[in-house]
A = this chain, B = another copy of it.
Amino acid sequence: MGLTETPPPPYWAVVFSSLRTAGDHGYAAMAEAMESLARLQPGFLGFEHARDESRGISVSYWRSPEAIRAWRENLEHQQAQRAGRERWYARYQVRICKVERAYGCEQSR
């Protein structure tokens, strides 16, 4: 699995940091369904996530703040957000960010 390719800035990012509750409770299946659904949304640019035992960070990239708002208001996604609050996350933090600069490095070895 590589890193997410994104166009030159500016674009937007949603940084979602979470502490999970214990157990799965349908989380893995819903996370996969939501990632598939996000990929279909207008203005979706990419997604990356990493997870330790308890803490996760997911970052989704979007063309505009309007695209983020539309995804947030998507009905299936709202249902998942509600389940997230009720069952999966002990705590979470969402940050809506404008990506102003980006650079990277790939080893050629």
Contact = CB atoms under 8 A, between A and B. Distances in A.
A56 B50 CA distance: 6
A55 B101 CA distance: 21
B1 A17 contact: no
Given A52-B50, A99-B95, A15 B104 contact: no
A3 interface: yes
A55 B1 contact: yes
Interface residues on chain A, size class: 35 or more
Dominant SS among interface residues on chain A: strand
Given A54-B1, A57-B59, A59-B17, A89 B101 contact: no
Given A49-B57, A50-B50, A96 B89 contact: no
A6 to B, nearest CB: 8
A94 interface: yes
A2 B90 CA distance: 10
Nearest to A101: B96
Nearest to A14: B101
A99 B17 CA distance: 14
Q: Pick the 9 closest A-B CB pairs, nearest first.
A: A97-B97, A93-B104, A50-B50, A96-B101, A50-B57, A57-B57, A95-B102, A91-B106, A98-B98
